[in-house]
Amino acid sequence: MVDVLIIGAGPAGLTAAIYACRAEKSTLVLEAKSYGGQIINTPDIANYPVAPNISGFEFATTLYNQAKDLGAEIKFEKAVSIDDGEIKTVHTTKNTYEAKTVILATGAENRKLGVADEDKLVGKGVSYCATCDGNFFRKKDVAVAGGGNTAVEDALYLADLANTVYLIHRRDTFRADAALVSRLKARENVKLVLNSNVTKLVSDVRLQAVEVTDKNTGEVTVLPVQGLFVAVGQVPENENFKALVDLDAGGYAVAGEDCKTKTAGIFVAGDNRVKDVRQLVTAAADGAVAATEAIKYLNN
């Protein structure tokens, strides 16, 4: 039996663990994949206070060690369901745990483009992680799909490695920070393909090219690329817990700034919560708030 069971070892979950441990509550963190969440794949974090130009890996590893050093137990198991009651029973694919409170900090997973053969070509030219796979495309031509911070950061990262980088975006304005977009536009080997969607992946065994269709003119262009990096946002990972937590139309867990869900003793923190700004700093803030609310719940 633990006081606080946290599902997810990203910035929100690990920050919650730090707060729970510092309140001397027994704390277990369950993580389905690797620690760090999405930020671990970010090459360069430039907007986190007091830590300019830290890599995502260094940030995540420091945070992970900080939580562990304070006493958090971290297990790599996927939580698949929760039975509610005064004591919550959390089932993973391997074990069952009991907890007085639960914080859902499950974050989000990569959204697929939804184009034919996308799944089949993962590892054969299609990737969702530029920092993981970019090296395979040294001096080759690649494309990035998306118009948010991830897509623009990926394109900047790949521009240092690849020959030509096409950034394919479905609109002509970007969701990404203006400063990043300016840096991207200054790169000579980056070509912007705007108002366009990827409509076909051309392959034999591996990706050979992507076909893009201009949304306004219908014109179809074939870009001869060996790699396609998909960076079109995330889908929140709340499905397993929807019996206990209301979800909005996008699948995000409904909770206010106090991170409380409709179920007493269950809190939600980070990118899987309904919110306007999904950033590292707001994920960490959620972790602090959710843990503080869990501690109050325990002390009452």
User: Which position among 113, 121, 228, 269 is part of the footprint of ligand NAP (CB under 6 A)?
Assistant: 113
Q: Is 21 a catalytic residue?
A: no
User: Which position among 170, 183, 191, 200 is part of the footprint of ligand NAP (CB under 6 A)?
Assistant: 170
Please count the CA atoms within 13 angstroms of the CA of 171 that sit on its side-chain side: 7
* Interface positions, 40-79, toward ligand NAP (CB under 6 A): 42, 45, 47
Establish if 171 lies at the interface with ligand NAP (CB under 6 A).
yes
Rounded CA gap, 299 and 290, in Å? Answer: 14
Q: Which is nearer to ligand NAP, 133 or 153 (CB)?
A: 153
Which region, judged by CB under 6 A, interacts with ligand NAP, from 66-74, 78-86, 150-158, 217-225? 150-158
Establish if 36 lies at the interface with ligand NAP (CB under 6 A).
no
Rounded CA gap, 253 and 35, in Å? Answer: 21
230-259 mask for ligand NAP (x: CB under 6 A)? -xxxx-------------------------
**Whether the Cβ atoms of residue 221 and residue 214 lie closer than 8 Å to each other:** yes
**Whether the Cβ atoms of residue 78 and residue 109 lie closer than 8 Å to each other:** no
Establish if 147 lies at the interface with ligand NAP (CB under 6 A).
yes
Q: Which of 84, 129, 177, 214 is catalytic?
A: 129
168 three-class SS: strand
- Rounded (5°) CA angle 189-117-158: 20
Rounded CA gap, 139 and 164, in Å? Answer: 8
User: Which position among 149, 196, 226, 238 is part of the footprint of ligand NAP (CB under 6 A)?
Assistant: 149
Rounded CA gap, 111 and 46, in Å? Answer: 24
Rounded CA gap, 286 and 294, in Å? Answer: 12
**Which residues are identified as catalytic?**
129, 132-133
Residues at the site binding ligand NAP, with contacts judged by CB under 6 A: 42, 45, 47, 111, 113-114, 145-151, 153, 170-171, 175, 231-234, 278-279
